[in-house]
Amino acid sequence: MTLAHRGPYNESVRKRLIATIVTLASLMAFAAHAAEPRVVLERYLARATATPLRDLTLDVDLILFSPDGRAPYATGSQLITLRMPDRQRVEQVIDGRTEVRLTVGDKSWRRGPDGKIETLPPQRSQSIVLAVPVHRKVDEILAEWRALGVRDTRSHESRQGGRPVTVIGAMAGERDRPAAWLDPEYGVVRFVGRDGTEAGNIFTDVTFSDHRPLLGQLFFPYRQEIFRSGRLLLRVLVRAVKVNTSPADSLFDPASLRAPR
């Protein structure tokens, strides 16, 4: 912009213009910094790792929905024991049928209602680990997210449940993209991942809500819903949470699956 002369009016306009440019530049720099995935995730993990959380025991109710996602067709319960960062035991009863699933690192096993034991494919991004990613490094988490299709070079600011979040994996206006919605206090409140199948890419959408204080600065979601291709598959309602109970090593031993406890 060129001004003919520096009279009082034009000088005032010039100062306002400069102030506006400086303000916009500052806002743009702040927005870019706030939306940087690594910075936002590091900030949250700093809060999480400052909390002495070693293990969790959850008592939950399950509601399974029909394939169209419209009506429940089965109910059940789970007793979940999780030792951070990568050991998990799930004892599940659905319509009177019992099964046990065990995960240690990147290996998983299942004892079905018939007592048979099978090895399962590696299970990335277990929902509880998503909700409370303590004792984990930024690079490790971002690598897992990338494996599920999340583009960790893209992000924008949005709102989820009335709270500000950083959406990692998508730009504003992009939909149906794998992404993680990260709340600065609650952590991951929504995660959309892509699973490759013979039929093509399928999207699994996990939402976390009803967050309540857990330990220190950590919160835990007492409600979780899982959608697949836009249809509700599972609703999880937490009845009780216990922290740092020091579960026995034997719970996470694959040999424990050979006979009921």
Mean pLDDT value of segment 206-215: 94
Q: Which two tokens stand for residue 258?
A: 């050979």
pLDDT tens-digit readout, 44-97: 888 887 888 899 999 999 999 998 878 898 999 999 999 987 899 999 999 899
Q: Which residue has the higher pLDDT, 231 or 176?
A: 231
Res. 14 pLDDT band, cuts 50 70 90: low
Please give the C-alpha separations between residue 144 and each of 16, 123, 130, 178, 245, in angstroms, as whole numbers: 48, 11, 10, 12, 28
Q: What is the pTM of this model?
A: 0.78
Taking each helix axis as running N to C, give the angle between helix 37-49 and helix 138-147, from 0 to 180 degrees, rounded to the nearest 10.
120
Q: Which domains does the chain have, with CATH numbers?
A: 1-34 (no CATH), 36-88+124-244 (2.50.20)
Residue 157: name the closest of 173, 135, 144, 176 by CA: 173
User: What value does the CA radius of gyration of the chain take, rounded to a whole number of Å?
Assistant: 23
